[in-house]
Structure 1
Amino acid sequence: MRKARWAAAAAGVVLLVAGCSGAKDDKSGASRSGSSAAPAGAGGSLGAGAATKEIVEAAAAAGFTGEPSGGIPASLERCGVSWQADVKKAADPQKSYAGTLAALKKGGWKQARELKQQGSVITSLEKSGWTLRAIYRDRAESFLVISFEAVDNSAECENVFAEELAKKRS
């Protein structure tokens, strides 16, 4: 199931990065290692470890605890991160989501767009060649998911995602 999830995530990144100009919207993977090294020659100077640190610190300051979500192939660890909030431990998940966004913006992330639809809010932020999607998905009172996914938009990472997608298809 995780492999299928990552194939879908890689496909989303490849299609959105290749198909969008300017502000990019994306799907991305999770980094379990927290590697801070950006790919050699990558356009994103932030790095996966730094992106993860910024997400975790902003979320913690807003009242969230959480962890990396899913398992990511080693080849994608340097190009994308994903962190999911433990919404059951947050006093007010909606307020903590808004607080996390505010902290990220204060830290230099610039809002690119926001989509509100059927109980979901997806906010795209950009910084240093990375695009972050903050996702608030409330389908029913018993099903609330809040996650923060970031991807390096560099050509090198686009190639890494395309290679991973090709592997999944064969």
Structure 2
Amino acid sequence: MRKAMGRVAVAAGVVLLVAGCGSDGGSDKGGSAATTGGSASAGSAGGAEAGGEDLTADAVKTEIETAATGAGFVQDATGDPVPAGLETCMVSWTADAEKAADPKKSYTDTVGALGKGGWKTGRTFSQSGSTIQTLTKGTWQLKASDHSMGMLKMVMFIASDTTPECEALFKADLEKNKKS
């Protein structure tokens, strides 16, 4: 129970950081490859303009899963699911960091494998032993987060499609949840 509550708290923080992590904060190690979020980064031509690829949520999930499992992670079946209605615009993959021999190394290796797979490295944000790395490919933006330094061992990969259609779905979901 305690582990689950901690995960929810960290996941909520990551979601807030993902939602608010635009052009401010963090360090820009990616130079001009770093994105600033929003529909301007996606471009009106979609994947062709932003990275030459039209990726589906299933393809993004497969790339994350392949990189993460190749780096020594197994998926945590208790990870947060993608909200209903956003399945084509968002991917969430949570590693069971407690089962990894070295979660920090597995995280670094996963990010490296994604980079070799065409994901462009953008901003990195590090604070209090946690690291969040932004990567982009096509119209997709991925937040790879490592919170494995303390007692709570958690590694998550959350990707979202930045097309105007998906942004409209995200906004509608946010508005719906504000009313709940």
TM-score (norm: length of structure 2): 0.72
Q: How many Å apart are 1:70 and its aligned residue? A: 1.2
Within a 5 Å distance, the mapping from 1:18-97 to structure 2 comes to: 23-24=35-36, 43-44=46-47, 45-67=54-76, 69-97=79-107
Q: 1:106 aligned to 113, 116, 132, which one?
A: 116
Q: Which residue of 1 aligns with 2:28?
A: none
Unaligned runs of 5+ in 2: 25-33, 39-43, 48-53
Alpha-carbon distance, 1:25 to partner: 5.6
Residues 110-140 of structure 1 show CA distances to partners (whole Å, capped at 9, x for unaligned) of 0011111111111000001100011011362
SS of 1:91 mapped into structure 2? coil
RMSD: 3.0
Structure 1: gaps spanning 5 or more residues? 27-40
Label 1:54 to 1:81 Cα distance change in 2 as closer, same or farther (>3 A). same
Q: Give the SS at the match of 2:153.
A: strand
**Residues 120 and 10 of structure 1, relative CA distance in 2, 3 Å threshold:** closer
Matches of 1:62 and 1:90, distance apart in 2:
9
1:168 correspondence with 2:153:
no
Instruction: Work out which of the residue numbers 138, 144, 149 in structure 2 matches 1:128.
Output: 138
Cα distance in 2, alignment partners of residues 42 and 74 from structure 1:
27
2:133–2:145 CA contact under 8 A, matched in 1: yes
Query: What is the total number of aligned residue pairs between the two structures?
Result: 149
- Structure 1 residue 67: Cα displacement: 4.0
TM-score under structure 1 normalisation?
Answer: 0.76
Q: What percent identity do the matched residue pairs reach?
A: 40
Q: Equivalents in 2 of 1:147, 1:95: separation in Å?
A: 14
For each residue in 1:74-94, what CA deviation from the matched residue of structure 2 results, as whole angstroms up to 9, or x when unmatched?
211111111111112111111
1:145 is aligned, of 154, 157, 163, to 154
